[in-house]
Amino acid sequence: MKKLHFKNIVRMQLFLPLFALCLMLLINVIITPSFFKVSIMNGVLYGYTIDIINRASELIILAVGMTLVVASSKGTDISVGAVSALSAAVCVRLLGSSYDAYAVPLAVAILAALGAGLLCGAFNGFLVAKLKIQPMVATLILFTAGRGIAQLISAREINGVMVPGQILYVRMEDYKRFGGFLPHVVIPTPVFIAIGFVLITWLLLNKTALSLYIKSVGINQKAGRLVGLNSTLIIFVCYMFCGVCSGLAGFISSSRIYSSDANNIGLNMELDAILAVALGGNSLGGGKFSIAGSVIGAITIQALTTGLYAMGVTADQLPVYKAIVVVLIVAIQSEEFKRWKSLYRIHKMAGKGVTE
Amino acid sequence: MDTSVVLSMKGINMTFPGVKALSDVSFSLRKGEIHALMGENGAGKSTLIKVLTGVHSMDSGEIRVDGISHPVINHSPEEAQKVGISTVYQEVNLCPNISVAENIFIGRHPRNVFGAVRWGEMNRRAELALGRVGLESVDVTKSLGDYSVAIQQMVAIARAVDFNCKVLILDEPTSSLDDKEVDKLFEVMRRLKEKGVGIIFVTHFLEQVYEVCDAITVLRNGELVGRFDVKDLPRVQLVAKMLGHEFDDLASIRVPEYEKKAHTDAPEIVRAIGLTHDGTIKPFDLDIHKGEVIGLTGLLGSGRSELARTLYGADQPDSGELYFKSRRLKANEPINAMKAGMAFLPEDRKEESIIGDLSIRENLVIALQAKTGVFKLLPIATQNELADKYIKALSIKAPSPETPINQLSGGNQQKVIIGRWLITNPEFLILDEPTRGIDVGTKTEIQKLVLKLAGEGMTIMFISSEIDEMLRTVNRLCVLRDGMKVGELSNVDLDRPRVMAAIAGGKLL
């Protein structure tokens, strides 16, 4: 009993997400016994677990941004996937497809990608925070228009005419490093980017009062205003931040395929990101949040995806299996389920005549 | 089971994390009885009611309702309603954005054979239901949110009464009603009583208990103190039983020297010239001097809260000028007023004060943190220090500073909010109904605190619907009527009849 009291609240919050992740890994290892096997192939680490943390990188970044959006505005940004594609298109278009040199310095292109994300986030933020449009409706605009803009940006000269909607390639070898491997490093680069990004975000939230502000605005906007918080600005900043996350994720994705594919980069990622937030034990009703939870949630989803692929499930059947698992995990975390559990406990106690 | 008993609860136990909320509490209610449930904050009144209505589940115990042969365990307020237990909570729990009629018939709309809602029938029956509580003038097709809190409360009561209920629970129904409305409510209660409905009446107003109740059950610290007939329990004894010690006479807390202090010489801290908020407050002038406790009084809807909100910038003034310490203050947003040195405790604790899931510590430091800015995070050590200091200074009862504020009782929540503002070290503190829905003990503490702070040089604006409370704490009283400041009473004129006369109308002398 005493131990329970001393248990850190954060740990209690993270218990279920961690449990879900472990369960997922356990099922994976039962079905695919070689699941945890890691070998070195072509000088880099290779295995399902490596694949999971590698592929989860973009999702982790998006989930972090989504967490703040959900916490502050009680709504979701469904444009993150489309904005990723848009940012990727900006980056790749700027870099050009020469074999000899980038058209602009690499840093400029990366900043432009992040900047494009920031602008999109600012647009969403303006609609949500200032015009008070419901988040889902507000972000629906870029959800649909974002890929269209990405198509327009992905234009290439064919027979003297600029034709949009092309797949542009970056031919420089070192561009592949961001989505692949750095020389002599056995761990995929996206993992480092994701870890660094999560760390920076964590510092930003917890070494300033931002975390407290976001929670307060998300829980009680009126009270937040009366204690002097500018909820409009806070929500706006969260959407901008989420935009930057989308930009970064888009950049990594484009580096993986050293091209910009406006139709496929970040496809359905918004759903996985929202799911990661929910799996992380965060309420989609806003308020308290846990970045760590969302990161675990993102890894869980990727573990599920990779696990299903390992079992030979094809990409088009994937959503069905995913849905089943997601329903189970979300149900276990629901308030109603917890209530049933406690009721069951009471009935059991009443049956035994125990009065504690 | 005695046939005259409509509800009996026996041996109820209930635990919150770290707190034993109810231990072995029993309660019984007769038919046609108005039964007061009394106790200080944290005594377990609300918890007992929530257990009865299925909001919380009890650890052990037995609930029996007349006409039902087996013990009742409710899992939700809906289930409770089905067995004949209806509740009107302290805070109105209806939907402000749908019509009054829909609110009354929510979840049980009258329908025709095709399942479509019969709007005409519903509106007619809604009018009937409202007529029963004496609210004939309300347009049932208008949104509930268009009406004042008082009317919303009456609608909630009408809704509860409309169910064929055996037990009606009124949890602090009168805290947002003015005297006339309270009388109306009592009329309804008496009518229901004649019909044989048992009424559980939770209130902090002693006078009301003696006016309308037949029996009293007193709880203290989650334990049953006893059940008494009203006629056998004099007021002083009731208070003694609630507090568990001899009654600290409220009347004696007024500090005598303080009354004689003249504040007109003290420097002026607030000056409002023709400040207006369209629709609620007509242009008003107001001067407040340093160290003064100024009260605002008036009936509900007279604009007393709105005036305070306009000063603080919680509602943007539409015209007029505001000077704070002789400097022009454009208080368009609360943060401007805060930075100038104001603090504001709003009337609606649940909606506008507490930040529910956050801890006591976070709720305490949030205002100071907002003032210092996002990039200057108060070190966690400082936060803990402040939290410990104010939890101790205001004797906030809580398992730990990290307890979420929504697990505290109303009085303790309010203390946290007061602490939140004291931490910002304000020069001018506005308290809008700080004692609303709070037990006698905490009320006294808050009044004492107001006097103490004023003694230390803080300027305070105090708003309360209880005249006696105002008379004990303020040395100047602004009277408002229909959004207009109609006059001021100061030290010598401050007595109950005069204030009542001023509020009620007629000219001030």
Nearest chain A CA: its distance from B119 CA (Å)? 30
* CA atoms within 13 Å, Cβ hemisphere of A296: 24
**Range list of H helices, B261-358:** 304-312, 334-340
Give domain status of residue A21, yes or no. no
At B507 the pLDDT is 41
| DSSP letter, residue A105 | -
Q: In sequence order, what are the residues at sequence separation of 6 or more whose Cβ sits closer than 8 angstroms to the Cβ of residue B125?
A: B101, B104, B105, B110, B162
Which of A222, A230, A343 is closest, CB to CB, to B351? A222
- Whether residue A47 contacts residue A36, with contact meaning beta carbons closer than 8 Å, is answered with yes
Q: What ipTM describes this predicted complex?
A: 0.85
What would the two tokens of residue A271 be?
């759903």
Domain encompassing residue A219: 59-301
- B454-496 residue pLDDT tens: 888 899 999 987 777 888 888 888 888 777 888 888 876 677 6
Subunit contact A209:B333, Cβ cutoff 8 A: no
Give domain status of residue A341, yes or no. no
Give domain status of residue A105, yes or no. yes
- CA–CA distances in Å: residue B369 to residues A287, B372, B379: 18, 5, 10
- CA–CA distances in Å: residue A199 to residues A4, A68, B72, B75, B490: 29, 15, 53, 44, 60
The pTM of the full predicted model, rounded to 2 decimals, is 0.75
| Nearest residue to B296 via CA among B497, B442, B489, B507 | B489
Chain A interface includes B250 (CB < 8 A): no
- CA–CA distances in Å: residue A179 to residues A315, B69, B122, B126: 21, 70, 63, 65
At B506 the pLDDT is 46
Poorest-pLDDT segment among A246-255, B58-67, B420-429, B495-504: B495-504
Residue B283 φ then ψ, to 5°: -50, 130
Q: In sequence order, what are the residues at sequence separation of 6 or more whose Cβ sits closer than 8 angstroms to the Cβ of residue A288?
A: A71, A215, A218, A219, A282, B357, B358
Q: 3-class SS at B64?
A: strand
Subunit contact A216:B366, Cβ cutoff 8 A: yes
| Nearest residue to B360 via CA among B381, B382, B390 | B390
What would the two tokens of residue A256 be?
């993986």
- B400-439 residue pLDDT tens: 999 999 888 888 999 999 999 999 999 999 999 898 777 7
CB atoms within 10 A of CB A196: 10
Give the pLDDT mean for B227-256.
65
- B47-56 residue pLDDT tens: 899 899 888 8
Can you give B432-471 as a three-state secondary structure string? ECCCCCCCHHHHHHHHHHHHHHHHCCCEEEEECCCHHHHH
Query: Which residue of A6, A222, A226 is the best one to mutate when testing the B interface, meaning the one whose CB has the most B CBs within 10 A?
Result: A226
- B330-388 residue pLDDT tens: 878 899 999 999 999 998 888 999 999 999 999 999 999 999 999 999 999 999 999 99
At B439 the pLDDT is 76
Chain A interface includes B24 (CB < 8 A): no
Give the pLDDT mean for A12-29.
85
Give domain status of residue A45, yes or no. no
Centroid of chain to Cα A132: 24
Chain B interface includes A5 (CB < 8 A): yes
- B339-353 residue pLDDT tens: 999 999 998 888 999
At B91 the pLDDT is 66
Chain B interface includes A203 (CB < 8 A): no
Chain A interface includes B420 (CB < 8 A): yes
At B282 the pLDDT is 84
Give domain status of residue A325, yes or no. no
Subunit contact A343:B420, Cβ cutoff 8 A: no
Cross-strand bridge partners of residue B99: B143
Chain A interface includes B366 (CB < 8 A): yes
Strand order in the sheet with B281-289: B281-289, B268-277, B319-324, B327-328
Chain B interface includes A208 (CB < 8 A): yes
Strand B281-289 with B268-277, pairing:
antiparallel
Give domain status of residue A356, yes or no. no
Nearest-angstrom CA–CA distance, B105 and B155: 11
Q: In sequence order, what are the residues at sequence separation of 6 or more whose Cβ sits closer than 8 angstroms to the Cβ of residue B181?
A: B150, B154, B300
Strand order in the sheet with B342-345: B342-345, B428-432, B459-463, B293-297, B476-481, B484-490
Strand B476-481 with A259-260, pairing:
unpaired
Cross-strand bridge partners of residue B277: B281
What would the two tokens of residue A269 be?
């990622």
Task: State the distance between the two ends of chain B, measured CA to CA, in whole angstroms.
Answer: 61
- Which residues in A222-246 are b (16+ Cβ under 10 Å) and which e? ebbbbbbbbbbebbbbbbbbbbbbb
pLDDT-above-90 percentage for chain A: 59
Give domain status of residue A5, yes or no. no
The greatest distance separating any two alpha carbons of chain B, rounded to the nearest whole angstrom, comes to 76
- Whether residue B200 contacts residue B37, with contact meaning beta carbons closer than 8 Å, is answered with yes
At A351 the pLDDT is 60
**Helix H or strand E encompassing A155:** none
Nearest chain B CA: its distance from A18 CA (Å)? 22
Give domain status of residue A84, yes or no. yes
At A10 the pLDDT is 47
| Nearest residue to B122 via CA among B144, B137, B107 | B107
**Range list of H helices, A177-230:** 189-206, 210-219, 221-226
Nearest-angstrom CA–CA distance, B303 and B281: 6
What total of structural domains would you count in chain A?
1
- B13-29 residue pLDDT tens: 988 776 778 989 999 99
| Domains assigned to chain B | 5-247 (3.40.50.300), 248-341+458-509 (3.40.50.300)
